[in-house]
Amino acid sequence: MDVVLGLPRLDECLEAKVLRSGPEPPPESLAATVRSLRDTLQQAISLRESGHYERAIELAQQVVGDDASLAYFPLRAEGLLELGRSQSRSTFPSEARRSLEMSHDAATQAKHDSLAAEASVGLVYVLATQLHRLDDAETWVGRAEAWIERTDAPLHLRASFLTHRALLALERGEFDAACALFRQAIDTQLTAQDIHPLSLSSKYNNLGLALERAGHSEEAIAAHTKALELRQEILGEHHPDIATSHMQLGNVFNQQHDYTRARQELELALASFQSTVGEAHHATAAAHTNLGLVLQRQGELPLALAQHYAARESYAAAGGDRRVELGQVALNVATALGDQGKHAEALEENLLALRLFQDALPPEHPFIGHTFHNIGREQLALGDIEASLEAEQEAQRIWETRNGPQFPNLVYSLSGIGEALHRLGRLDEALVPLERAIVVGEQSDGDPAGLMWARLVLARVLDERGGSEERVHALAKSALDWLDASGANDPEARPELERLLDPLR
């Protein structure tokens, strides 16, 4: 199983408007300097929104370091807030965390409650999606909620808070909860009198990402298309956010096995990221990864591996805590190596991914389930059938515990369990997980490649047990029809399906 990298966005932390109600005005001796520095902050905001993050950081640092900022805490809080936002959009999440925490503290000291709420909401995003400190993010959810209720916060900030709670749910693998929160955030934003198109576009982008991970690909395309349209109206074509929308669309087309359109979107996204944010950036690394996945599906394995290795280099150059992203890259490298028959090397990459995920994520995160499934596949290929069965059963346990009995990815672990039991000669036992895999696959909007494989393995088991030839034929034909329609390159599945359909076998 491949892991697609998405790019959630910092939502209303892009809002140009800084709330200034509550604190005392600056003393007369500082008033002119404060006005000038706030003009500088507005320039920083404009630079950030146009994708010039490094220059925005420089201007925000000028404001934070000025003597007037040190003397007037509301200005210091505003400067640190913008510095944290720009650092978050660049490649400095740890620095963004420090800046936002200092902004919160300065706002609290200045009795600037609204600004403290803004900083708290921003911290939920950075901690959840960039640093993967989920328990810390949950702590700031409580603080942000308290500030929002205390200040009777405007709708745009409430919508931002809902968005960042949704991103936290997404990081925890709670996809349905994330979708519901994103929809609530969009509804709240649309109720606001002053709708900021860029913040609204980021909500649609994030909703699309959650829908994609939940397996609802058509709805995901609609959400990403809406995000792209809103961004194009404001930003034109040469901007990192436009590249993000193209990448997200490419990911969903890949999920739908429309590889031609997926490759077009992802090549466009990669070129755009390289020209706007450079190679040493997490967004560029994600584009490398996702393009590599499409190339894998098209059977261009050397090109795919080159993209995955480029992603690894980009993440390393970007800096920060990249354990989760590097774990995802290791999974994808492993899949490409396994597809080339290099199963021992693939197993080592999967074990690396498992160490990274277990170090950075909750113990029952879906990514850990993915990793156990992939480990099971490679152990099966290496002939360690009992170990493969145990790994697939652990993947099933994690997915069912976290995501429920109808989680689409269960098709993979159930098929893997059935295949391992088949290889152990326990054909009757193999039927139960394989029949269930078919039901889950047919009742969910998951990856049709998984359903194809479940049908193949079940047909194989039924054929060896001397089961109904009509059922074997129907299963094999459905699987082969999907292979033909999708254009997927699967040199292992096709010959066996053709054998099962051969009337002379």
- Reading the chain (505 residues) residue by residue, the pLDDT tens digits are 555 555 454 443 334 334 444 688 999 999 999 999 999 999 999 999 888 899 999 999 999 998 888 899 999 999 999 999 999 988 788 999 999 999 999 999 999 999 999 999 999 999 998 888 889 999 999 999 999 988 888 888 999 999 999 999 988 888 889 999 999 999 998 887 767 788 889 899 999 999 988 888 999 999 999 999 999 998 888 899 999 999 999 999 998 889 999 999 999 999 999 999 999 999 999 999 999 999 998 989 999 999 999 999 999 998 878 899 999 999 999 999 998 999 999 999 999 999 999 998 888 888 999 999 999 999 999 999 999 999 999 999 999 998 889 888 999 999 999 999 999 999 999 999 999 999 999 987 667 888 999 999 999 999 999 878 899 999 999 999 988 887 776 778 889 898 898 864 4
Which element (helix H / strand E) includes 14?
Answer: none
- Nearest-Å Rg of the Cα atoms of the chain is 25
Residues 293 and 265 sit within 8 Å (Cβ to Cβ) = no
Residues 178 and 169 sit within 8 Å (Cβ to Cβ) = yes
Q: Would the pTM of this model clear 0.85, i.e. be above it?
A: no
Nearest-5° angle of CA 99, CA 100, CA 106? 90
Residue 354 and residue 352: Cα distance in Å, rounded?
Answer: 5
Superfamily of domain 238-362 in the CATH hierarchy: Tetratricopeptide repeat domain (1.25.40.10)
- Show the 3-state SS of 188-220: HHHHCCCCCHHHHHHHHHHHHHHHHHCCCHHHH
Q: Give the CA distances from residue 4 to residues 23, 82, 285, 333, 414, in Å, rounded to whole numbers and listed in that order.
A: 45, 30, 12, 12, 21
Domain boundaries, the chain: 20-153, 238-362
Cβ–Cβ contacts within 10 Å for residue 495, how many?
10
Residues 108 and 81 sit within 8 Å (Cβ to Cβ) = no
Give the model confidence (pLDDT) of 406-448 as tens digits: 888 999 999 999 999 999 999 999 999 999 999 999 987 667 8
Cβ–Cβ contacts within 10 Å for residue 204, how many?
24
- Where would I find the H helices in 340-384? 343-360, 366-381
CATH, domain 20-153, list 3.40.50.2300, 1.10.10.10, 1.25.40.10, 2.60.40.10: 1.25.40.10
Residue 244 and residue 226: Cα distance in Å, rounded?
Answer: 13
Specify the amino acid at residue 410.
L
Q: Do domains 20-153 and 238-362 have the same CATH topology?
A: yes
